[in-house]
A and B are shown apart, each in its own frame.
Chain A
Amino acid sequence: MNSDVQRFLDRLTERSAQRDASQGPEPTWIAARRQAGAARFEALGFPNRRVEAWKYTDVRAIASGDFQLATDAEFSPATTATLTLPVEAHRLTFVDGVFSASLSQLDDLPQGVQLLPLSQALEDNHEAVGGPLGRLTGVEFSSFSALNTAFMEEGAVLRLAPGSVVDKPIILQFLSRANDAPVMSHPRILVEAGSRSEATLIEHHIGEDTAANFTNLVEEIILDRGAILTHYKLQEAPLADLHVASIHVEQGRDSRFTSFNLNLGGGLVRNDLVTELNGQGAEATFNGLFYGQGRQHVDNHTLANHNAPRTFSNENYKGILDDRAHGVFNGKVVVKRDSQQIEGFQSNANLLLSDRAHIDAKPELEIYADDVKCSHGTTTGQLDEEAVFALRTRGIDEQTARGLLTLAFAGEVLEQVTLDVISERVELAVAGKLPERFNLAGLVETAVALGEE
């Protein structure tokens, strides 16, 4: 067997022994899942580039790493304050995957809303977690989901009672620490939204600049009839962080899921976003923006499974790549037999700012019903020269014009964002990341100053 795989399995054995020694034996279902996860991971190994779903993403950086597991959640409160999204919210904070009660904010949750760390949820009633957990993302999904299942111990559980509406956003904050030796974490998130409930969930990944850890997240979201969930994934992890995430959504009748996948950070990032549209009238919207620079690698895989008639999916992903960054977009719409009157739209546009940047795009349609309206479009190219010209006729120099248009390109996704704190933050970050030649530095400073006033 592969020594990389063995190293991870050894770590698992150590961890299980420690846990059993300190906490006593786990409920049998958890132990069984762990075993199944480990067995699956051992059988699959890390994916190589001959595996179609990993054709463009090389995970050797993860496979060859020797990652410890964090044991405490110490993090400077001052640093946390600068990293945390400045917004009134219900918040769970994890440091390298370990829950930090002191950095969390769980007061005044509205009636009918449960938000708690996974460890707590298991302690309270492990059977209530065992039912839904793993139903959407089994160990079969990928080697990483198997690995997560083998290691999972912390994460978040969010339960919304039918009809409950959460006004303030719910933030799951994942902080990555600059450790002596790199660590890994396998957060597991479970969201159960009852019928007609409504909430906004923000998953925020950020950390200390020099951190270099590996996060392997699995998130399962179950939306009952008419539930509405807006999901933000704001990825601002340090540039040496490795990040793999699988988000799996199940949508009941008339439910609405809106995703914003905003990717700015991370050295190697792979996102799998899957929705199962199981009830008539269910609607999914996937918005995505990724910005890569340096040697960043960002891979976004999305899949909309139309399993019921009259379901809708709409996808819009935009990528900007500079330096030697590598972007991957793989969007797929599947329409099952007899799922009639479907609408599935997919659009992907990419801008390459450097000759060494690279994008691999693969928008797919797989359709087994005839009464459907499905389309996809993807473009990669440069800015519209006429738009550049139009700005120049208004006295804006060429490079600034290009900078502004690049910003506007990202803006098409950001204008869908309803939370100002996020759209402004991302827009400023994109403006700040744009190459110096675009002369936008002054503009950014002014904007920041205005924001601080």
Chain B
Amino acid sequence: MATQEMEQLVRREYKEGFITDIESDTVPPGLDESTIAFISNKKGEPEWMLEWRLKAYHQWLKMTPPSWAHLNYPPIDYQAISYYSAPKRPEDMPQSLDEVDPKLLETYEKLGIPLHERAALAGVAVDAVFDSVSVTTTFKEKLHEAGVIFCSMSEAIRDYPELVKQYLGTVVPQGDNYFAALNSAVFTDGSFVFIPEGVTCPMELSTYFRINEANTGQFERTLIVCEKQAQVSYLEGCTAPMRDENQLHAAVVELVALEDASIKYSTVQNWYPGDENGKGGIYNFVTKRGDCRGDRSHISWTQVETGSAITWKYPSCLLRGKDSIGEFYSVAVTNGRQQADTGTKMIHIGEGTRSTIVAKGISAGRSNQSYRGLVKIGPRAKNARNFTQCDSLLIGDTCGAHTFPYQEIGNSTATIEHEATTSKIGEDQLFYCQSRGISEEDAVNMIVNGFCKDVFQELPMEFAVEAEALLNVTLEGAVG
């Protein structure tokens, strides 16, 4: 396919735009206690949940949006946002893939997305999709057998209130930061995962599987709890350009790992980045935090961030248990006028805790990207160990790449290493490839993929393949 065409495809304006048709179940824009009560009521939530939300709302009122990030965007009018809209009715959605924009399908093809997922992603009425995909129901049975709870947050609040009460907000408290407080007040849905003691989740969990359950909306709330010796790998997002109609996203993800538990959380984010002038595009303000509560617990974050106009995201690990391990692997690609301020926090509290940070940033076009990370070693974290590597690759002379690592070390037995480099794709590297008959575009893709290899290795296999393809698509048109 011609490069130009492809470029157009990736950059094309979102046909759907950001205008939501007013439906009967949509609250008017604005946020006050009655909006929150409305959401809570719609979800059929118990009284304590409403109180919890209101507490968050009152804290949010007293807070100011953070301004420390290396980001530039006009102030957000929180009263202009509609905080609840009912999921689209199936009859409003395309009834089959034939009704979907063929160009969108081409992108899916290029990314190698399995057929049944394409339909779901394109927004085809899910019943129609999942009727033909009995695979989902098989998954559900298997999970049930193993004792794993995997459902939407609304269901969890209804069916497992004790578990939710016990863990919700214990990792990211309501007043943690501006966006977390907003999320706590108005979240509409999200996923809940509970892996009981000693159980290894029989398959990788993914939001794909419950795409038919509800429109998760812009304020997503995810809670994953692994009891002693339990294990799970969770995939969030997808590589395909997602159809989305909300501009502001403020999700919260909480992970709890008890003794010897292990959680692996992988994200691929490719939301609409805005047009070439930076108009439109998703604002993504996410709070993700994992709590290694038990000894020898293990939490690993892997992320591939290619979409959104603004990314503000710092998946973190609280390493409280003795010998617990935190990991963060990230690839962030920005092109056009995208801005990303992302990184991680590793808070070492327990003895013998270890953390690894590998962050790879690729900036192209007129984009700006920052790595911002904190490694904190508390006085009781004897023999704590951290290794951090953050590398930036610049493509073109109008983009920016920045690193702001913070280290706060209060223990003499700690060993901390930080390395960062910034460079561009070497002329000699390109020449070497081209002299062997590889086109410039392919050569750049090869080099970029090599640059990101350390992170892709951490992704589950199918995801890794898609991520590589995604990277190539995102950077198309950036070189040459």
Contact = CB atoms under 8 A, between A and B. Distances in A.
Chains A and B bind each other: yes
Given A353-B412, A381-B416, A382-B415, A371 B424 contact: yes
Nearest to B398: A337
B407 A360 contact: yes
Interface residues of A, number: 37
Given A367-B392, A376-B420, A361 B415 contact: no
B415 A381 contact: yes
Contacts of A379: 415-418
A338 B424 CA distance: 14
A30 interface: no
Interface string A356-379: 111111111111111111111111
A363 B416 contact: no
Contacts of B423: 372-374
A100 B413 CA distance: 48
B29 to A, nearest CB: 33
Contacts of A376: 403, 418-420
A358 B376 CA distance: 11
B422 A371 contact: no
Given A365-B422, A380-B415, A381-B415, A359 B407 contact: yes
Contact of A374 (B407, B417, B421): B421
Contact of A340 (B397, B403, B419, B421): B397
A425 to B, nearest CB: 27
B400 interface: yes
A361 B411 contact: no
B397 A352 contact: no
A356 B406 contact: no
Given A369-B397, A375-B422, A358 B403 contact: no
Nearest to A56: B408
A354 interface: yes
B414 A352 contact: yes
Instruction: Report the interface size class on chain B.
Output: 20 to 34
A292 B395 CA distance: 43
B394 A370 contact: yes
A365 B409 contact: no
Contacts of A362: 404-407
Highest count of chain A CB atoms <10 Å: which of B394, B403, B404, B416: B403
Nearest to B371: A365
A240 B418 CA distance: 33
Contact of A380 (B396, B416, B420, B421): B416
A355 interface: yes
B402 interface: yes
A52 interface: yes
Given A358-B410, A380-B409, A366 B400 contact: yes
Contact of A372 (B409, B410, B411, B422): B422
A204 to B, nearest CB: 31
Nearest to B396: A370
A371 B418 CA distance: 23
A363 B412 contact: no
Contacts of B417: 377-379, 381
Nearest to B407: A361
A350 interface: yes
B399 interface: yes
A337 B403 contact: no
Nearest to B419: A377
A144 to B, nearest CB: 22
B409 A364 contact: no
Contacts of A340: 397
Interface of B: 68, 379, 392, 394-424
Given A355-B413, A382-B413, 10 more contacts: A337-B398, A340-B397, A355-B379, A358-B408, A360-B407, A375-B421, A376-B418, A377-B417, A379-B418, A381-B417
